[in-house]
């Protein structure tokens, strides 16, 4: 009898998981764009993704101009490679705060979230790659009585 109850619970959980995936619908505005906010360190990126030719614009400039280092452009384009959607979406992003590396990570996070909203079936691939998780590491604050956050002043016996 207990085995039958366990089986019902397992199938009920599987049905609920299947229903949850079926319920996800694309979240798109009247202009065909999906919006998401990406964050990393102190950088915050507002990202709009819409079907297009693969053009990425950051703060009104092309990504080759804004992110001059190839590694930063690679970071920004990772979600499209994982999802298999290279050159299928245009991206418009505005980024504030932090440095270039943090801003690239914030744009990547925003693109991943917006892609997942535009095409819910991509969620599994993006989540498995770890792109939907916000990298919560931030600079630790300086404490009084210390030279930096943790480094003490040089000790002198005499």
When pLDDT is averaged across residues 2-30 and rounded to a whole number, the result is: 66
Residue that wins the pLDDT comparison between 7 and 58? 58
Instruction: Classify residue 146: in a domain, yes or no.
Output: no
- 31-66: pLDDT as tens digits: 999 999 999 999 999 999 999 999 999 999 999 999
CATH number for the domain spanning 86: value is: 3.30.230.10
Distance from CA of residue 3 to its chain's centroid?
42
Helix (H) / strand (E) element for 104: namely helix 100-118
- Spatial distance between the Cα atoms of 125 and 129, rounded to a whole number of angstroms: 6
Q: Which residues contact 44 (CB under 8 A, 6 or more apart)?
A: 37, 38, 95, 96, 97, 106
Instruction: Classify residue 93: in a domain, yes or no.
Output: yes
Instruction: Classify residue 6: in a domain, yes or no.
Output: no
Instruction: Classify residue 64: in a domain, yes or no.
Output: yes
Residue that wins the pLDDT comparison between 44 and 29? 44
pLDDT at 26: 86
Instruction: Classify residue 33: in a domain, yes or no.
Output: yes
Residue 84, pLDDT > 70, answer yes
Domains identified in the chain, total number: 1
- 105-151: pLDDT as tens digits: 999 999 999 999 999 999 999 999 999 999 999 999 999 999 999 99
When pLDDT is averaged across residues 57-86 and rounded to a whole number, the result is: 95
Are 135 and 98 contacting, i.e. CB atoms less than 8 angstroms apart?
A: no
Task: Give one DSSP letter per residue of 5-31, joined into a string.
Answer: HHHHHHHHHHHHHHHHHHH------TT
Q: What is the DSSP letter of 99?
A: -
pLDDT at 158: 84
Residue 118 belongs to domain spanning:
24-128
């Amino acid at each position: 009898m207990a085995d039958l109850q366990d089986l019902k619970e397992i199938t009920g959980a599987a049905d609920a998981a299947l229903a949850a995936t079926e319920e996800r619908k694309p979240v798109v505005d009247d202009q065909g764009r999906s919006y998401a906010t990406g964050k990393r360190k102190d950088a915050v990126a507002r990202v709009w993704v819409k079907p297009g030719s693969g053009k990425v614009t950051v703060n009104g400039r092309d990504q080759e101009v804004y992110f001059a280092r190839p590694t930063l452009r690679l970071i920004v384009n990772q979600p499209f490679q994982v999802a298999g959607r290279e050159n299928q979406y245009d991206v418009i992003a505005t980024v504030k705060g932090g440095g270039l590396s943090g801003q690239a990570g914030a744009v990547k996070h925003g693109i991943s979230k917006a892609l997942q909203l535009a095409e819910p079936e991509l969620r599994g691939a993006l989540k498995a790659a770890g792109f939907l998780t916000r990298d919560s590491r931030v600079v630790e604050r300086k404490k009084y009585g210390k030279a930096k956050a943790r480094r003490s002043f040089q000790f002198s016996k005499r």
